[in-house]
Each structure stands twice: as C-alpha cells, then as structure tokens.
C-alpha cells in the first residue's frame, strides 16, 4: 500500500518478512499481518493564542487486536507520518506478544513540534486530537500512552476528554497518567528500568560483571535519562550521554545525579553542564564501551556506521534503531544485540500493570511493580535466548519469530470472519 511506504515501515516489513520466511508462516497470514487492521487519519484544528487557527494532521493506527485490546503510545513530532506510525504499531504487536501481554499493537501521533506550542495550545491540540480519535479508543478497545513529545499531563487531558464524552471518569482509557487520577507507581521510569534488567541478564549470559561495565547512551529523554540513572545505581559506569544537539563524555564516569539536576531541574543543556567533554551523536555511537544504548529515534545505526561500533552489547532502548544491513555487520562483529521489542518493553509492561490497577480499582506498591516487571522481562529474555540458541538464529529473529507465532496462533484459532 503506497500510503504506508516510508523507510521506517519498509524496515518493519523487511524484519517481518525475514522472520515469517524463517518460520514458514502461512502466506495468507503474512499478507494480513503486514498491514494494520485499522488506520485513521484526522485533521486537528487548533485555535492558537493569537486567535488564528492551525490545522495539524493526526493518526491512530491499530495493527492487530486478535489477542486483546490494542495498546500504544501517542507521539508529537513534526516529521511523523502514517508509515512511521504503522511501523511502530506493528512492533508493538510483536512486543506485547513476546512478553505475554494480552494486547495487540497500536500507535498514535500528531505531526507537530510541541516545543513550539504554549501550554494552552498544547492542551487544545490534545483535547481535539482525543475527540477526533474517540470512536477508536477505550479501555476495552485501544489504550493510548505517552511517547516522544508527550507526557503524563498530555495523558491526563486525553483521559479527561474521553471521560467528558461518556459522562463519567474512565481512568483506564490511557496509561502513563499522573498518580492523582489513576496512574501507576514506576510507570515513568519503566522503560529505562526494563532496559537495565535485560542488560543485566545479557551480562550474566556473557559472564561479564556490571561493576566492570561501561555504558554509552544516545538519547537523554525519558528512556535515556532513567536508563543512565538506574544503570549507575546497579554499579555500571555511564561514560557518555547525548541528546539531539550532541553529548558529553567522561571516561571515568559521569555524575548522573548531578547531571540530571543541572539538565532537568536547572534547564541547562548537556554542553552547559560541563560535566564531560563534548562529542557528536555519531562519535558517541563509536565509543569503546561494554553497553551501547540507542534510546533516541529509529535508524541511527546503519551500514554507514555499524562497522565502527565498539560495544559488546547493543541494548535497543529506541524503536527500530538498527537497520537490517547494520544487523548483519554487527552479528559478524560478535555484538550481542538485545532487540528493541524486548529491550524497551518495560514501558508497555508497566502500562499493562496500570491498566489492570485501574480496572480493579486496586493499586500496588512500587516494589511489587518492580518485582513483577523484572520477573516478566527476565523470563522473556531467557525464552528468547533459548530460542536463539536452539534455532541458531539472532536474538532479533528469535524475538520476532516468538512474537509473530503467538499472534499467528491467535488468528488461526479464532478463524476468519465471516
């Protein structure tokens, strides 16, 4: 379908095709699972503070609902498009299946730069977007969550807009909300904590000690910042972090608590913190380190730079950060890859916990959430590792094949309607 034809969507489909071929997936199912079950494109008119009206384009894509309601974040980014949203929804389907969550994958987005909006404009945009996608969402249908450019406040506005439409409070319609309206402890840090948990298991598999581990992290938003903090708390030495402007490097290890204070609380840029030597994002990817965590946007590691990577473990905090060509180069180099649908699944797992708590009206302690998250991710990691070893295939293909198989089994048992 031409409307989905973007580089990110082609990557998602190429990964799927490779896994489907290896597992000899039924051709009828292959065609069905390549494209979303449902896609919605909406106009989002917003009255700006100066009185003029700007019209933005919004999306909500539901890839597959065979195993339960669909689940996925809402992204605010100026360069987002239907193909990218469809790819992210597909990856979310495999991610949920791989970790045994009773969800299918979805994704939403608005093509906008939220940094250019006032708080009032951001609220009006969010509420109008939520109203436009209202027919598709609901706690038993499709549950949005935060993503790039959105946060707990945006989710609160979406939850309130939906609740106003139905006439009563529905906290379970979104996850990643503030605690005061049904959010969950541990949700904000969940993806970064999950990256850390699977990295610990990879280090154990490779017989490496976390206390001797050096870590470089591309991206210092929600995922990257929490990964840095939790990795350091677990004994690793975080030697470099970066954001869209570039990064800082200190071979002796960065002071992450001080960095977070200056960067997040005091609003300094990474360069202004002066806690390390300045370097570019490309330079960061090529640092000599034990663990490299790409936690920014898709397709950062390509055939152009893959051979220059000097990490032992690549833990993919972002979605689709590595192209297929780069995959082959890294495998030949002996890099142990923890694929995105496993490495960054902590966010959707704790989103699932939040949804369960909202539905039950019964909330858990932070330690319960951390323990359950670690249990699910540890089991998923070792299932994937054993599949990889038994089938003599990469961790990425093992993860994809495991997730795809669970979705395929759901379709085969449910049959085709009508």
| Joined tokens for residue 188 | 């904000």
**Integer Cα distance of 208 and 383 in angstroms:** 20
Of 176, 19, 5, give the one whose Cα is nearest residue 86: 5
CA distances from 235 to 202, 215, 302, 401 (A): 15, 11, 30, 33
**Integer Cα distance of 106 and 320 in angstroms:** 16
Q: What angle do CA 126, 132, 134 make, to 5 degrees?
A: 95
Of 88, 93, 92, give the one whose Cα is nearest residue 75: 88
| Residues linked to residue 215 through DSSP beta bridges, in sequence order | 238, 291
List all residues 6 or more positions away from 264 whose beta carbon is below 8 Å from its beta carbon: 225
- 113: buried, middle or exposed (CB in 10 Å: 19+, 13-18, 0-12)? exposed
The catalytic site residues sit at 107
- 363: buried, middle or exposed (CB in 10 Å: 19+, 13-18, 0-12)? middle
Tell me if residue 88 falls in helix, strand or coil. helix
Residue indicated by tokens 């298991």: 201
- A 10 A CB-CB count for 360 gives 10
Residue indicated by tokens 């379970």: 172
Please, what sign has the CA dihedral across residues 202, 13, 97, 146? positive
- A 10 A CB-CB count for 349 gives 26
- Cβ–Cβ under 8 Å, residues 302 and 212: no
- Cβ–Cβ under 8 Å, residues 327 and 18: no
Chain centre distance of CA 154: 17
For the chain, report the end-to-end CA distance as a whole number of angstroms: 24
- Cβ–Cβ under 8 Å, residues 95 and 403: yes
**Integer Cα distance of 373 and 149 in angstroms:** 25
User: What would you measure as the largest C-alpha separation in the chain, in angstroms?
Assistant: 64
């Amino acid at each position: 379908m031409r409307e989905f034809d973007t580089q990110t969507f082609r990557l998602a489909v190429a990964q799927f095709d490779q896994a489907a071929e290896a597992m000899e997936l039924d051709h009828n199912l292959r065609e069905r699972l390549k494209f979303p079950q449902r896609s919605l494109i909406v106009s989002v008119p917003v009255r700006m503070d100066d009185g003029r009206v700007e019209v933005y384009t919004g999306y909500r894509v539901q890839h597959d609902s065979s195993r339960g309601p669909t689940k996925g974040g809402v992204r605010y980014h100026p360069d987002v498009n239907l193909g990218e949203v469809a790819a992210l929804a597909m990856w979310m389907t495999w991610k949920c299946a791989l970790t045994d969550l009773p969800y299918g994958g979805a994704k939403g987005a608005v093509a906008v730069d939220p940094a250019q909006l006032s708080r009032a404009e951001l609220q009006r945009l969010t509420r109008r977007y939520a109203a436009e996608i209202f027919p598709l969402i609901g706690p038993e249908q499709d549950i949005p969550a935060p993503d790039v450019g959105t946060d707990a406040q945006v989710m609160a506005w979406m939850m309130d807009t939906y609740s106003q439409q139905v006439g009563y409070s529905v906290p379970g319609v979104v996850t990643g909300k503030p605690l005061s309206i049904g959010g969950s402890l541990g949700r904000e840090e969940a993806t970064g904590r999950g990256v850390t948990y699977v990295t610990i298991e990879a280090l154990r598999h490779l017989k490496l000690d976390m206390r001797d581990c050096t870590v470089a992290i591309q991206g210092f938003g929600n995922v990257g910042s929490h990964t840095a903090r939790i990795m350091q708390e677990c004994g690793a030495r975080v030697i470099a972090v970066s954001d869209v402007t570039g990064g800082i490097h200190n071979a002796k290890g960065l002071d992450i608590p001080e960095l977070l204070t200056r960067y997040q609380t005091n609003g300094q840029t990474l360069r202004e913190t002066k806690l390390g030597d300045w370097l570019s994002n490309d330079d960061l990817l090529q640092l000599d380190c034990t663990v490299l965590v790409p936690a920014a946007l898709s397709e950062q590691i390509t055939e152009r730079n893959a051979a220059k990577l000097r990490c032992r473990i690549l833990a993919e905090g972002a979605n689709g950060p590595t192209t297929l060509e780069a995959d082959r180069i890294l495998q030949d180099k002996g890099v142990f890859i923890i694929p995105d649908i496993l490495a960054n699944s902590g966010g959707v797992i704790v989103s699932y916990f939040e949804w369960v708590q909202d539905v039950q009206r019964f909330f858990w302690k932070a330690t319960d959430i951390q323990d359950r998250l670690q249990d699910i991710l540890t089991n998923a990691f070792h299932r994937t590792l054993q599949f990889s070893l038994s089938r003599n295939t990469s961790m990425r293909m093992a993860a994809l094949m495991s997730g795809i198989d669970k979705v395929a089994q759901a379709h085969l048992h449910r049959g085709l309607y009508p």
